[in-house]
Structure 1
Amino acid sequence: MKIQANTIRPGNVLSHQGKQWSVLKIQLIQPGKGGAFIQVEMRDIDSGNKTNERWRTQDTVEKLDVRQHDCQYLFADGDSFTFMDKETFDQFPMSRDELGDQALYLQDGMDVTVDFIEGRPVSMNLPGQVTLEVTECDAVVKGQTATSSYKPGVLENGVRVMIPPFIEAGTRIVVSTADGTYVERAKD
């Protein structure tokens, strides 16, 4: 089915230049002059090769119909991540290359959706948000709280994120899995 380029999300499977591609990362770029475009990092499902493509936001691309299975993330063993189909209880591995940066947000027992093409897992879709703990962050600079400034912080999974000045190390926060940005302080 044809979709607009600005609706592409990580985990989508696209048909481009006669190949099947799994989307790993997207970045919407709005230059000061000219129209906006989307930069898409994707991996060839068959060969594993990665490429970057740019489309204008109004361009259309072919999104492949895939079977989606509700699965549960079980554990990681090196660069292999094991999932279980919640209907059949079949377990299957996926590699770090197949998952891309999404692997950073996996948590034990997390419910995810895995896309299958011809019985083979090709990509994974995370929940929209995850809760993680801030392990380290810079101290607040006096007077900085009057503005809506952010400071860098590191999450328990090693990802760097910009957080508000009132967040301290040890605080649990909600992070968007689509772009890795701070959403809110977690309600414990």
Structure 2
Amino acid sequence: MAASNVSSHFSSSLRMARAPRTAGSFAPSRVFPGLRRRPSCFPRIYALSSNDIKVGTSLVVDGAPWKVLEFLHVKPGKGAAFVRTKMRNYITGNTVEKTFRAGSSIDEANVSRETKQFTYKDGAQYVFMDLVTYEEVRLGEKEVRDKKKWLKEGMDCNLIFWNEKVIDFELPITVKLKVVDADPGLKGDTVQGGSKPATLDTGAVVNVPTFIDIGEEILVDTRTGQYSSRA
């Protein structure tokens, strides 16, 4: 290609790059720190068979989301087979037992989990932050319930969303907390012995071995609320 043609082609390309966009053109949307768009869509509902139920399955029953805690497939000598379940309501925390006919169709709850960090408590609200977008999610006492006794600033939790709303959150299975009040420990007793109540820095009270002293950090299982070990 001749030099004059190359120069002409480059100038034409430059003019095109600098040309203002018309009403029909598209430009990338700007992204602002701390702002995140959730996809706007209708709630998705998936049907599954009662035979597919297992621990952890999320179901929609009577218009509310439930989590299966226990299940048992029963095939009696007479009559139709069924599935006996124990479920917990994500929103209210209530636990019920419910039976489903074997092979019946059930709506699966489309829940999603997002990791957020508990950053601080603002009055009666608990503030969780997305460390990527800096978006804040606030939960009240009603949503947090008795899980607040294990919450500590800087702790990562899984917030559970259903229909674009937070319906529950999951704590880490094991948390490290400090003993702030307890009877004096028994020196030399590090294996055997009884237990004593200890108050932790979140306000929770747990039974710990008698050798645990004030100022020590311990690991607690949030599922049972019981002492696991020294940290």
TM-score normalised per structure 1: 0.68
Native 8 Å contact 2:65 2:89 kept in 1: no
Cα distance change on mapping 1:141 and 1:127 into 2, 3 Å: closer
Q: RCO (CA 8 Å, sep 6+): is it higher in 1 or 2?
A: 1
Identify unmatched segments of 5+ residues in structure 1. 27-36
* Distance (whole Å) between structure 1 residues aligned to residue 159 and residue 96 of structure 2: 23
- 8 A contact 1:163–1:182 mirrored in 2: yes
User: C-alpha distance in 1, partners of 2:219/2:205?
Assistant: 14
- Offset, 1:16: 3.6
Larger Rg: 2
Q: Distance in 2 between matches of 1:38 and 1:184?
A: 33
Distance 1:146 1:73 in 2: 35
Name the structure with the higher helix share: 2
- Cα distance in structure 2, aligned partners of 1:13 and 1:157: 31
Which whole-Å CA distance do the structure 1 matches of 2:88 and 2:222 have between them?
16
Determine the structure 2 residue equivalent to 1:132.
Answer: 177
Please list the CA deviations of residues 93-152 of structure 1 after superposition, one character each: whole Å capped at 9, or x if unmatched: 11121122222222212211111112211111111111111122234579x988442222
Cα pair distance change 1:41/1:69, threshold 3 Å: closer
Scaled by the length of structure 2, what TM-score is found?
0.57
Q: Measured at CA, do residues 42 and 19 of structure 1 come closer, stay the same or move farther in structure 2, by a change above 3 Å?
A: closer
Residues 1:118 and 1:185: Cα distance change in structure 2 (over 3 Å) = same
Counting only pairs closer than 5 Å after superposition, residues 7-156 of structure 1 correspond to structure 2 as 7=55, 15-21=60-66, 42=89, 45=91, 51-54=94-97, 64-139=109-184, 147-156=192-201
CA displacement 1:27-60 (0-9 Å, x = unmatched): xxxxxxxxxx9987646x3xxx56342479xxxx
- Alignment match, 1:34: none
Distance 2:58 2:151 in 1: 20
Q: Which runs of 4+ in 1 moved over 6 A?
A: 37-41
Q: What amino acid is aligned across from residue 171 of structure 1 in structure 2?
A: E
Cα 1:113–1:146 change in 2 (3 A) is closer
Pick one of 148, 154, 159 that aligns with 2:204: 159
The change in CA–CA distance for 1:166 and 1:40 in structure 2 (over 3 A counts) is farther
What is the CA–CA distance in structure 1 between the aligned matches of 2:185 and 2:108, rounded to whole Å? 45
Overall identity of the aligned pairs, in %: 28
Q: 2:94 aligns to what SS in structure 1?
A: strand
Contact 1:153 1:163 in 2 (8 A): yes
* Separation in 2, partners of 1:112, 1:50: 17
Unaligned runs of 5+ in 2: 1-47, 70-83, 100-105
